[in-house]
Amino acid sequence: MRLRLLLLLAVCGAAAGAAVRTLSLRGRWRIRSGNGSLELPGDVPGCVHTALLQQNLIQDPYYRFNDLNYRWISLDNWTYSKEFKIPFDISKWQKVNLIFEGVDTVTKVLLNDVTIGETDNMFKRYSFDVTSVVRDVNSIELRFQSPVLYAAQQSKAHTRYEVPPDCPPVVQKGECHVNFIRKEQCSFGWDWGPSFPTQGIWKDVRVEAYNFCQLNYFTFSPIYDARAQEWNLEIESSFDVVSSKPVYGHVMVALPKLQTQQTQGIELQPGERVVELFVKINKNISVETWWPHGHGNQTGYNMTILFELEEGLSIEKSAKVYFRTVELIEEPIKGSPGLSFYFKINGLPIFLKGSNWIPADSFQDRVTSDLLRLLLQSAVDANMNTLRVWGGGVYEQDKFYELCDELGIMVWQDFMFACALYPAGQGFVDSVREEVAYQVRRLKSHPSIITWSGNNENEAALMMNWYGIHISDLPTYINDYVTLYVKNIREIVLTADKTRPFITSSPTNGAESVAEGWVSHNPYDKHFGDVHFYDYISDCWNWKIFPKARFVSEYGYQSWPSFSTLEKISSEEDWSYGSRFSLHRQHHADGNTEMLLQAGLHFKLPQSKDPLRSFKDTIYLTQVMQAQCVKTQTEFYRRSRSQVVQGEGHTMGALYWQLNDIWQAPSWASLEYGGKWKMLHYFARHFFAPLLPVGFENQDVFFIYGVSDLRSDCNVTLTVRLHTWSSLEPLCSRRTRRLVMKAGKATLLYEEPVPRLLKTCGKCTRQRCVVSFHLSAAGQLLSPTNYHFLSSLKEAVGLHKAHITFSVPATLLSRLPSVVGLVQWKERLRGHHHEGSAVVPGSILGASLQRSGVLSSSLTSEETIGRSCARSCSQGASEPGRPSSPSVVTHLCLI
């Protein structure tokens, strides 16, 4: 040992400035099945399923019924192994760690046949000290245990009482006891996803050798001091000091663009040390804040941090720092019982509009940066500003949050617990504590994350008694709930991060849940917190069925993905709505019937005798139904933002379920697996537009509200038109005088009894006519053209077959991915019209009425909207001490 230390000191002196060497263990490993009958190469990061697929040992796991055929993969106990040589003289390094950024999930880890540790939590980072075991040439082995068998064992070992649910509903074709393993909860099956409980090393792995001392991590939080009106930066750096004596030096932090530089002496005692720095941002330079998409720029500032320590050791890191504040406002509302529930960013109340994010693939190693960019850009292209990373998936990879920062997408971040009760024994809680501490540390520097949320629907599961718990056992489960989410997760989060709110669950009653002992007797109370709302049976065209709640963080309807997506993973015999395949892919009980029942309320169901035609038409119709249902509901929430009716309203968030798909199957998603836009996504682009006229009827009176997400009032003219179904020429058109649309409000713009509206327009009846309306200023469109159906479309009279043609300049196709979507839309419409139905949804109606069958002309009109909006909406005063972006208005008005 002494010799080793002497050697080390010599090295330290010699290797001035470079006290760490790393060896990545990414790449090829060997994978062996439990009984050794299968041996194959496999990539790290990766998993057994993708390795088997790469070696052609299995077919595409998503093909037809392969999710069931390949159950054996997750029931086996696999081993990953690798031999590796250290390319530097390992004996000269004082400390050697083996670091796993993520292991999925239950393993025993051996290095050179010595057990160096165990893993049982997919969401933790593992660092094993291998100083005494590592050699020049090494063999490493990870002996996995089947996650399914492990979960069953853990559940069995929990003998005092059951922790339900045991198994998912049969229709989900999943595995049991997922709540007993810290692994992606939906990997055991969900109501939109298959069961593929993967095994593998799903993130980076490396050997890290160092002398003297090593920087483990650094993280930072920008904090606004409202009293002094200045920004500060709290920086936390963690060191492992292996030197036997204290290490001295200094640290320099610089943010050149903010003319901020600070140097400070540091002293590191031996052992694991955390250094906290407090940097004051130069007050003379105005800091541009980070804004959500649609509200301003996403300005960030480069920061470098340089540690210069004794022995010539210097460590330099850089990062992008974004400045923004977030507050969750829960306060009394005039004329309403309960409390508000909304977010202020940089002091500005913002309506959160968007959707819920689930894992983009069952096999995380297939989720590339390009795929993430495609999906997240689609969210922004649909005018969303928020995604909720749902608690049944994974804490997403760094790239996801970097993209959200860049694109201005606010993230509601759940902790990974969903739709279940969870054990709260010491072992489980300890593991969760480490998971949470690590994830908060990894993610907290991202401005995009605006709130932490303890779990998905577990307060509701408990208090609405989803699992038939005996009333006398309730205190036990409540106690476990509070132990896990409040006494542990919440406590860790609030200690580590004071820059954003924490709520214990979604849905929750927020402050009211806290007041009721962290669990409310009805977490779906419309007067508090957020709600989730699903009703597939009632008529979705009737807005009265929707909850006028403070914030709606989940709601939605299912639809089928397009035929071109399904075709890739099915065969001809599967192509009918009643096929075994169609039933198999549907994981929500009665989902296929519900979709038809809902569609049948307003549309003629497909009539074709040709089975394939009929299948395609049905798929299409489910998408029309879904789009129209979510549109009606979302517009209801948006127009409720500044209303309180009978004590209900002040709705400040609408996040529909769900943005993306994990595989090709019917689901609530608006983006298909792979990223293709469903009809709903095109609708979302309109119903989330920053300026939107919303039409609806109440007792035979037609109303139009103007919803504005802008920061300044806007002068608009509203045009209301009546069209017969048989012509694209409006029958009547009327234009209001100049109206003021209040910034950040929903304002009543128009009110007229339907009989009078029809009467003033000659030949109109409810069945013959449809209403369209839009906002404009100085002859330029400021909003999407919206529409209101006066009768069910199955009763509409005068529909014609449309023959719409379009041309797309090739240059545009490559330049604008969102425009490609527009083309697909029109193809759909054309296909549909060939069949003789005539659903003419808003975006198409608007486009048709402008006779803009040609893509380039509709593009030009979007550009002009931006310009004219900039003219007609005056720039609002920015808040004191919080400069706004100069380009905000133009940016906002682009739809």
Catalytic residue among 101, 311, 435, 457: 457
Q: Given the complex with ligand BMA, which of 388 and 441 has the nearer CB atom? A: 388
Structure tokens at 122: 């997919």
- What does the buried/exposed string (b/e) look like for 289-302 if buried means 16 or more CB atoms within 10 Å of the residue's CB? bbbbbbbbbbbbbe
Q: Given the complex with ligand BMA, which of 346 and 505 has the nearer CB atom? A: 505
Q: Taking the CA of residue 142 as centre, how many other CA atoms within 13 Å lie in the half-sphere pointing to its CB?
A: 29
As measured in angstroms, the least distance from the Cβ of 241 to ligand BMA is 45
Q: Given the complex with ligand BMA, which of 457 and 574 has the nearer CB atom? A: 457
As measured in angstroms, the least distance from the Cβ of 525 to ligand BMA is 17
In 335-493, which ranges are E strands? Answer: 342-345, 348-350, 352-357, 386-389, 410-414, 449-453
- Rounded (10°) CA dihedral 819, 821, 690, 686: 130
Structure tokens at 414: 């759940």
Q: Is 554 a catalytic residue?
A: yes
Query: Could you give the angle at the alpha carbon of 823 between the alpha carbons of 820 and 824, nearest 5°?
Result: 90
Q: Given the complex with ligand BMA, which of 220 and 524 has the nearer CB atom? A: 524
Q: Given the complex with ligand BMA, which of 330 and 554 has the nearer CB atom? A: 554
Structure tokens at 693: 């006229």
Provide CB contacts within 8 A for 510, sequence distance 6+: 328, 330, 339, 341, 503, 528, 529, 530
Catalytic residue among 141, 175, 435, 554: 554
Structure tokens at 305: 């941090």
Q: How far apart are CA 19 and CA 656, in angstroms?
A: 50
Q: Given the complex with ligand BMA, which of 84 and 466 has the nearer CB atom? A: 466
As measured in angstroms, the least distance from the Cβ of 602 to ligand BMA is 23
Q: Given the complex with ligand BMA, which of 355 and 708 has the nearer CB atom? A: 355
Q: What single DSSP character describes residue 313?
A: -
In 414-523, alpha helices (H): 426-443, 458-463, 474-481, 491-496, 511-515
Q: How far apart are CA 216 and CA 741, in angstroms?
A: 52
As measured in angstroms, the least distance from the Cβ of 294 to ligand BMA is 26
Q: Given the complex with ligand BMA, which of 393 and 510 has the nearer CB atom? A: 393
Task: Name the 3-class secondary structure at 301.
Answer: strand
Using alpha carbons, list the distances in angstroms from residue 609 to 17, 455, 576, 714, 835: 77, 48, 12, 52, 12
Q: How far apart are CA 47 and CA 141, in angstroms?
A: 15
Query: Could you give the angle at the alpha carbon of 735 between the alpha carbons of 732 and 740, nearest 5°?
Result: 155
Rounded to 5 degrees, what are φ and ψ at 749? -110, -25
DSSP codes of every residue in 570-605:
--GGG-STTSHHHHHH--STTHHHHHHHHHHTTSPP
As measured in angstroms, the least distance from the Cβ of 330 to ligand BMA is 22
As measured in angstroms, the least distance from the Cβ of 534 to ligand BMA is 6
Q: Given the complex with ligand BMA, which of 390 and 696 has the nearer CB atom? A: 390
What is the distance, to the nearest Å, from the Cα of residue 111 to the centroid of all Cα atoms in its chain?
Answer: 38
Using alpha carbons, list the distances in angstroms from residue 858 to 515, 657, 732, 844, 867: 53, 30, 24, 11, 15
As measured in angstroms, the least distance from the Cβ of 411 to ligand BMA is 16
As measured in angstroms, the least distance from the Cβ of 633 to ligand BMA is 14
Position with the least CB separation from ligand BMA: 191
Q: Given the complex with ligand BMA, which of 51 and 178 has the nearer CB atom? A: 178
Q: How far apart are CA 760 and CA 767, in angstroms?
A: 16
Task: Name the 3-class secondary structure at 548.
Answer: coil
Q: Given the complex with ligand BMA, which of 224 and 557 has the nearer CB atom? A: 557
As measured in angstroms, the least distance from the Cβ of 504 to ligand BMA is 15
Query: What does the longest C-alpha to C-alpha distance in the chain come to?
Result: 102
Sign of CA dihedral 35, 41, 44, 47: negative
Using alpha carbons, list the distances in angstroms from residue 474 to 156, 162, 489, 514: 21, 12, 21, 17
- For residue 96, which of 142, 138, 143, 124 has the smallest C-alpha distance? 138
Using alpha carbons, list the distances in angstroms from residue 395 to 416, 435, 442, 506, 690: 7, 10, 10, 16, 30
Structure tokens at 261: 């530089």
As measured in angstroms, the least distance from the Cβ of 737 to ligand BMA is 45
Sign of CA dihedral 770, 775, 780, 785: negative
Q: Given the complex with ligand BMA, which of 19 and 627 has the nearer CB atom? A: 627
Cβ–Cβ < 8 Å for 309, 210: no
Q: What single DSSP character describes residue 305?
A: E
- For residue 250, which of 236, 237, 262, 266 has the smallest C-alpha distance? 266
As measured in angstroms, the least distance from the Cβ of 538 to ligand BMA is 16
Cβ–Cβ < 8 Å for 550, 530: yes
Q: Given the complex with ligand BMA, which of 656 and 702 has the nearer CB atom? A: 656
As measured in angstroms, the least distance from the Cβ of 232 to ligand BMA is 37
| Burial of 205: CB neighbours in 10 Å, binned 0-12, 13-18, 19+ | buried
As measured in angstroms, the least distance from the Cβ of 193 to ligand BMA is 8
Residues that bind ligand BMA (CB under 6 A): 190-192, 392, 418-419, 456-457, 532, 554, 657, 668
Q: Which residues are catalytic?
A: 457, 554
